[in-house]
Structure 1
Amino acid sequence: MIVIDTPEATRSQRLKAATRDSHGALDKRIMAGDIFASRDLFATFLRVQYRFHRDIDALYGNPALDALLPDLDERRRLPLIARDLADLEQTLPLPTSTRLDGDLPLPAALGWLYVAEGSNLGGTVLYKMAARLGLDSNFGARHLAAHPDGAARHWREFTAALDGVALTEAQEQQVIDAADAAFRSVHGHVEEEFA
């Protein structure tokens, strides 16, 4: 068991512990939407994914972040989600005011990207479940497919880079606050789309 109050815990381990409640509540809410009962319900989940990834898309084009995090631009999933929605004959959700600026302060950007990249890791489980609906990496579930190098390895590369960024104690808290805000933002999208 990891004790998160010690210097031995990594930033990603502290983030996981600090956001456990908001992450868990989000997962439960999404699964309560029975997203694998039909393609229409899965499309509702895709709309949530699209809204969140549209909100953070500018971060993937930030050169300063790209210098710190491996293959950041290649990690963008917004175009894949748009294609998944098109496969299911869905229109793209309308823009909202929650879109983040690409020049978000570093600690906040790291918190939001932690949530996005973590969802990529969790997406491998959802990908297997999407197969029940006839969805895969060529149709409807592109954005959930694992990276060719493997989802776990891709995640470890990201967290190693995340953990290696030098931050002050105050900035550490800003990363946690931003990650929590990201989970709450996705939860808000879920409530709107599943209403």
Structure 2
Amino acid sequence: MTATATRLTVPGRCARLKASSSRDHDSVDELVMAARPFEDRERYARFLQVQHRFHGSLLALYHDELLNDRLPGLMQLSRFAAVERDLLDLGLALPSAPPTVSASPAQALGWLYCSEGSNLGAAFLFKQTQRLGLDGNEGARHLAPHPDGRALHWREFVARVDGLALDAGEEVEVIAGVIAAFDSYRGHLRAVFAGG
């Protein structure tokens, strides 16, 4: 049997990714809340720096031609420009561009799954920013819902990822990409919020 013949679409791929990374997801949630990013604008500014590092590191993946062929419309989903506008809204200088993630195409799917999934969970964070006088037009653009709504946008993304044909080795790489993405985000959180 050829390698091509063993490539399969897996309807439950994203469900398996969620199960494989649930502990990582939970630990990131706990670290974010422990950082108290919505306590005041100063702490929220630090949170924006975390977001800048993470989303900036993924910009090349969102613009990758192969990935855009496999996931049409991907280029328009990056939230990096919105993060930069949020920083400017708060009167902050833009940090230098972060290093780009190095990932195989399959690993990149895992990174993108983590990034797009965070938008689904951002509804709670978006509400918290309103306590600081911020919203989707100022300071919290990158947390605002997708124009089609968070749930519909997520379902469409999941359907595209689940519909891709990957071989067994690539399936393993996708999971490795998800775990690496959560590890990266934890690292950014700890670095930016070190010392309180």
TM (norm. structure 2) is 0.90
Q: Which has the higher contact order (CA 8 A, sep 6+)?
A: 2
**Conserved? CA contact 1:70–1:158, under 8 Å:** no
Partner amino acid, structure 2, of 1:125: F
* Partner residue, 2:188: 189
For the residues of structure 1 that align with 2:101 and 2:37, how far apart are their CA atoms?
27
Is 1:58 the equivalent of 2:57? no
* Partner residue, 1:20: 22
Residue-by-residue CA offset, 1:84-137 (whole Å, 9 max, x unaligned): 01111222334444x125xx4221110110011011111122111111111101
* Partner residue, 2:81: 79
Partner amino acid, structure 1, of 2:144: A
With 122-131 and 75-84 compared, the bigger mean Cα shift is at: 122-131
Partner amino acid, structure 1, of 2:179: D
Structure 1 residue ranges (4+ consecutive) displaced by more than 4 angstroms after TM superposition: none
Q: Count residues in correspondence.
A: 186
* Partner residue, 1:148: 147
For the residues of structure 1 that align with 2:35 and 2:125, how far apart are their CA atoms?
13
Is 1:168 the equivalent of 2:178? no
SS of the aligned residue for 1:182 comes to helix
* Partner residue, 2:123: 124
TM (norm. structure 1) is 0.91
* Partner residue, 1:159: 158
* Partner residue, 1:3: none
1:53/1:8 Cα in 2 relative to 1: closer, same or farther (>3 Å)? closer
For the residues of structure 2 that align with 1:52 and 1:137, how far apart are their CA atoms?
20
Gaps of 5+ in 2: 1-8
Percent identity, please: 46
RMSD between aligned residues: 1.5
Pairwise CA distance, 1:171: 1.0
Pairwise CA distance, 1:69: 1.2
Pairwise CA distance, 1:193: 0.3
Pairwise CA distance, 1:63: 1.5
Pairwise CA distance, 1:73: 1.0
For the residues of structure 1 that align with 2:10 and 2:119, how far apart are their CA atoms?
26
